[in-house]
Chains A and B, each alone.
Chain A
Amino acid sequence: MRAGFLFKEVRIGLRRNLTMTLAVMITVAISLTLLGVGLLANSQVRVMKDYWYDKIEVSVFLCGTLSESPSCSGGPVTAEQRNSIKADIEALPVVDTVYYESQSEAYVHFQERFEGSAIAQNVTQDQLPESYRVKLIDPTKFAVMQSAFAGRPGVDSVQDQRSILEKFFKLLGVLRDGALVIGLASVLTAALLISNTLRIAAFNRRRETGVMKLVGASSFSIQLPFLLEGVFSAIVGWMFSTGLLAGFKLLVDSRIAPLLSFTKFFTWSDVWVASGILLITGFVVSTFASVITLRKYLKV
């Protein structure tokens, strides 16, 4: 079968089944878009993790006058303890950088953070602990810090900011997984619709396929026009879904990003990667659905 004849048959088939063709295109567009949103949610979680984990620190709070933990029973931290703690922190291989925050600096930061609030007025400089702020090379290696410094004389407590973010990311992770599950479920729906549409198309054209069989067409050449119809519809659907995702990205950049300045958002390259994954998904799913259906309904 020559290409020209083949494409003519495909065109006739698509036109004869126009409403179903449109249904397939729209369903594929929506399902791939949903899956794409899931993929972008995944990118977003990654971007936020990179952004935040880069900023978080481990705080080693030193004993002050108000400290109550057992390791502070000897009173506020001495200059000697302070120096040896610093030396030990710097000696740890997991540590990237470390800096010292004095009570006066802590007071300034506190005032900045709670500016205008009643708490800011009631807090005095000596109520706030001095601390070492430690950035780790790998932020997940908090346990090393914890075991090395918690309970050591002069150290009040060791705090990991990551544990606070962790809850937030767990929530985001659930949302992302939900989006991916919905996306995959709708891709499955699209696959079933493609299969059903081809079944109807095969039934509508049983005269043609019957004649093709009689004159000795191979199974492949009988099935190929149907297969191309399924894949063509899926590709058109994919184009729409990429357009929708690009629109989503523009919306995020223009409307949402200005409101949420504390984080970064997924990039255009994330959108293109997602689009590429959707193209492959659409192609594989439509081919697979078509081949299985046609093998069943268009036997020689």
Chain B
Amino acid sequence: MIRFENVSKIYPKQNHAALDLVNLEILKGEFVFLVGLSGSGKSTFLRLVLREERPTSGEIIVAGKELNRLSAHKIPELRRQVGTVFQDFRLLPNKTVFENVAFTLHVLGYSQKEINREVPEVLELVGLEEKSNRKPSEMSGGEQQRVAIARAYVSRPAILIADEPTGNLDPATSVGIMKLLDRINREGTTVVMATHDSKIVDSMRKRVIELESGYVIRDQVRGVYGYAG
């Protein structure tokens, strides 16, 4: 689903690489944790997958698309196959929960009828069917993140990218979010989650890729946050 071949990224005016000759492959349906300290290259990795940045060298293939050969007007097509969730939720404050989720579908050209069918379904999945008329400001952080996940998932993307989705949430709420992401993963969506949260990584026992100073220093199939012991 995602393949990096000898990918390096050096930002202008920086002397060391944000990513240095990274090779990895994430298969369809996998759940992958991306761990590492701030500045280790996690965000760069995610930005490269979304084609917000281009690699300095190397090949990236996402959902069957060679990103180096992807012309600018094809980028939206790539992003429709990759849902994204952020630490800061990025909801539209003037729109209700329903409208926030429906926004994706409007942008993609769904009819009102399809929207009225799809949005309640995904709101039920994230457990917010009762709150569809609320504004984000009236909700807790955990609920807002569920809305953000619903928005990312409503168009059923092949890949879901989550950048520190529990970073602003307390542990109990985080568990709920992780259950939700796990459920989405079980329905066939590839999930890539960047995180600092060692408890979550340890409890899920999923594949862990650790980055340090732009290198992949660890890639374990059923890993934990740090080396055990």
Which residues of A, 1-45, contact B by the 8 Å Cβ criterion?
Answer: 1-2, 4-5, 12
Q: What is the bound-complex CA distance between A207 and B94, given in angstroms?
A: 11
Contacts known (A207-B92, A210-B90, A214-B84); A1 close to B106, Cβ less than 8 A: yes
B90 touches A216 (CB 8 A): no
| Choice from A2, A207, A210, A219 contacting B112 with Cβ under 8 Å | A2
Kindly supply a per-residue 1/0 record for chain B positions 76-111, scoring 1 wherever the CB is within 8 Å of any chain A CB and 0 otherwise.
Answer: 111111011000001011100000000110111101
B108 touches A215 (CB 8 A): yes
Within 8 Å CB of B80, what residues of A? 215-216
| Smallest Cβ-Cβ distance to B105: which chain A residue | A215
Q: What is the bound-complex CA distance between A5 and B78, given in angstroms?
A: 23
B76 touches A217 (CB 8 A): yes
A-B pairs under 8 A by CB, number: 57
Which residues of B, 97-152, contact A by the 8 Å Cβ criterion?
Answer: 103-104, 106-109, 111-112, 151-152
B92 touches A5 (CB 8 A): no
Within 8 Å CB of B75, what residues of A? 300
Question: How many chain A residues touch B (Cβ–Cβ < 8 Å)?
Answer: 19
Interface residue A218 (Cβ < 8 Å from any Cβ of B): yes
A212 touches B112 (CB 8 A): no
Interface residue A102 (Cβ < 8 Å from any Cβ of B): no
Question: How many chain B residues touch A (Cβ–Cβ < 8 Å)?
Answer: 27
Interface residue B72 (Cβ < 8 Å from any Cβ of A): yes
| Choice from B108, B112, B151 contacting A216 with Cβ under 8 Å | B108
A215 touches B92 (CB 8 A): no
Q: What is the bound-complex CA distance between A1 and B104, given in angstroms?
A: 10
Within 8 Å CB of A166, what residues of B? none
Within 8 Å CB of A207, what residues of B? 90, 92-93
Chain B binding surface, main DSSP class: helix
Chain A binding surface, main DSSP class: helix
Within 8 Å CB of B50, what residues of A? 214
Q: What is the bound-complex CA distance between A208 and B104, given in angstroms?
A: 11
A212 touches B111 (CB 8 A): no
Kindly supply a per-residue 1/0 record for chain B positions 37-79, scoring 1 wherever the CB is within 8 Å of any chain A CB and 0 otherwise.
Answer: 0000000000000100000000000000000000011011111
Within 8 Å CB of A71, what residues of B? none
Q: What is the bound-complex CA distance between A35 and B13, given in angstroms?
A: 50
Kindly supply a per-residue 1/0 record for chain A positions 172-211, scoring 1 wherever the CB is within 8 Å of any chain B CB and 0 otherwise.
Answer: 0000000000000000000000000000000000011011
The distance from the CB of B78 to the nearest CB of chain A, in whole angstroms, is 7
Contacts known (A207-B90, A210-B90); A215 close to B73, Cβ less than 8 A: no
| Smallest Cβ-Cβ distance to A16: which chain B residue | B94
Interface residue B166 (Cβ < 8 Å from any Cβ of A): no
A221 touches B107 (CB 8 A): yes
Within 8 Å CB of B106, what residues of A? 1-2, 5
Contacts known (A2-B106, A2-B112, A207-B90); A216 close to B78, Cβ less than 8 A: yes
| Choice from B79, B93, B94 contacting A214 with Cβ under 8 Å | B79
Contacts known (A2-B109, A5-B106); A215 close to B79, Cβ less than 8 A: yes
Told that A2-B106, A207-B90, A214-B50 touch, could you supply 18 new A-B pairs with CB distance under 8 A? A2-B109, A207-B92, A211-B103, A211-B151, A212-B103, A212-B107, A213-B79, A214-B79, A214-B90, A215-B104, A215-B152, A215-B155, A216-B78, A216-B79, A216-B107, A216-B108, A217-B108, A219-B76
Q: List 8 A-B contacts (CB under 8 A).
A: A1-B107, A2-B106, A2-B109, A2-B111, A2-B112, A207-B90, A213-B79, A219-B76
